[in-house]
Amino acid sequence: MTGTIPAPAPVVGRTREGIAQRLAEDLQDGYVVNLGVGIPLLVPRFLPADKEVVLHAENGVLGIGAEAAPGQEDPDLTDAGKQPITLISGAAITDSALSFAIIRGGHLDCTILGALQVSASGDLANWYVPGKNPAVGGAMDLVAGTPQVWVAMEHVDRTGRPKIVPECTMPLTGKGVVTRVYTDLAVFHVVDGALRLVECAPGVTPEDVRANTTAPYTEHLAG
C-alpha cells in the first residue's frame, strides 16, 4: 500500500504589513514617492519619524497628509483612489498634465506598485487580466518615468502559482522597468536587466524562495 506524499507546508514569510514595513526601511530621507494600490498603500504607516518622505498622488497632489477625519472630508481633496485626504505643510496642487510631467519627467524618486507578474528581466504586468475589466490609470506613465520602480506583492498568487516568472504571460505595463521586488518571502534587486536575490525574509530559506520562483536569478545574499 502506497501512501500519498503530503504536500509541503506553505512557506510562511512576512505578512502584507511586514512587506510594507520592510520596504519602508529602504526609503531614504527626502524621497518623493508615488504609491499604487494594494500593499503599497500600507507603506506610509511604517515610515520612520526621522525620515521625511513626500507622497505624490497622480490626480495632482504633492504632499499627501493623513486620511481626513470623519466629518472633515472635503470632496475637493482626494487621493488617486478617490479617498478623502489632508495635506502636509508645504504641499502643492497641480493639474493632471503637470502631475504627469512630474511623473513622466523623472521628478519622482520612486514609485511603489503592486504586480500580477514580474519577469526575470524586470518586465512588469499589473494592469489587465485578459477576460476581465481593463483599466490602466497612471501605471504605464509611472513605470516609464520614475527612476526606481519598487514592486510590493505576495510572492505567489492565490492559487500558489509563482508571480516572479521567466517571461510575463499577462499583458505588460512596461518592459525592463522594475528595479526592486519586495515579497513575503524575499527581496530582489534588478541589476543590468537580471534578477538578484538579495535577502530572504526571516524564517525563509533560499531553497524556499527557489521552490516558489520560476524566473532565473542569481543569489547575492549578505553574510
Q: How far apart are CA 30 and CA 88, in angstroms?
A: 14
Among 1, 69, 90, 132, binds another protein (CB under 8 A): 132
Among 18, 60, 65, 162, binds another protein (CB under 8 A): 60
**Which of the residues 58, 67, 167, 207 is marked catalytic?**
58
Q: Is 107 in the site for another protein (CB under 8 A)?
A: no
Q: How far apart are CA 104 and CA 143, in angstroms?
A: 8
Q: Is 39 in the site for another protein (CB under 8 A)?
A: no
- 126, 173 contact by CB (below 8 A): yes
Whose Cβ is closer to another protein: residue 74's or residue 219's?
Answer: 74
Among 75, 90, 202, 223, binds another protein (CB under 8 A): 75
Among 23, 57, 165, 198, binds another protein (CB under 8 A): 57
Instruction: Name 80's Cβ contacts closer than 8 Å, sequence gap at least 6.
Output: 57, 58, 59, 137, 138
Min dist CB 33 to another protein, Å, is 17
Euclidean distance between the first and final Cα of the chain, in Å?
Answer: 46
- 211, 196 contact by CB (below 8 A): no
Helix (H, G, I), strand (E, B) or coil at 123: coil
Among 31, 44, 107, 140, binds another protein (CB under 8 A): 140
Helix (H, G, I), strand (E, B) or coil at 181: strand
Q: Which three cell numbers stand for residue 152?
A: 510590493
The residue whose grid cell reads 499604487 is 36
Min dist CB 69 to another protein, Å, is 13
| Contact characters 152-181, another protein, x per CB under 8 A | -------------------xxxxx------
Catalytic residues: 58
State the residues that interact with another protein by CB under 8 A.
57-61, 73-79, 81-84, 93-97, 99-100, 103-104, 128, 131-141, 144-145, 171-175
